[in-house]
Amino acid sequence: MPDMDVALKDAMQVDGAIGAALVDRGSGMALGIAGGDKDFDLSVASAANTEVIRAKLRTMEMLGLREKIEDILVTLDSQYHLIRPLTGRSGQGLFLYLALNKDRANLALARHQLKRIEGNLDI
């Protein structure tokens, strides 16, 4: 099973990938990062997206929804941001974060590839 570095490398192979991170939902700390640049700080994005997940989980709890989040999509003018909470025992409390260039990415394929990466990830 691929480890974190291999999983992040695979995520960067998704068409349109700008950056990817494996993030601890509890602390907001990125455990691993691939891609990004001086104008796109993946550590900051990882911490901020932790708040997105927390807000959605609180909302689901208030509504009494007992389902799992498959992924969360944030659509910007030029980018897609995919947040995928890990569901395996070894990945509890972690999420994969993938930022994509909207003009180059195929969203459906990116979601499918991120699901595959999660399934192969061994933490």
Q: Which residues pair with 89 in a beta bridge?
A: none
63-82 b/e with 16+ CB inside 10 Å = b? eeeeeeeebbeeeeeebbbb
Task: Reply yes or no on whether the pLDDT at 23 is more than 90.
Answer: yes
CB 74 within 8 A of CB 81: yes
pLDDT of 26-68, one tens digit each?
Answer: 999 999 999 998 889 999 999 999 999 999 999 999 999 999 9
Domains of the chain: 4-120 (3.30.450.30)
pLDDT at 1 over 70: no
Is residue 74 over pLDDT 80?
yes
Q: How far is CA 86 from CA 29, 47, 67, 77, 78, in A?
A: 15, 16, 14, 27, 26
Residue 52 gets which letter from DSSP?
H
* Prediction pTM value: 0.93
pLDDT, position 89: 65
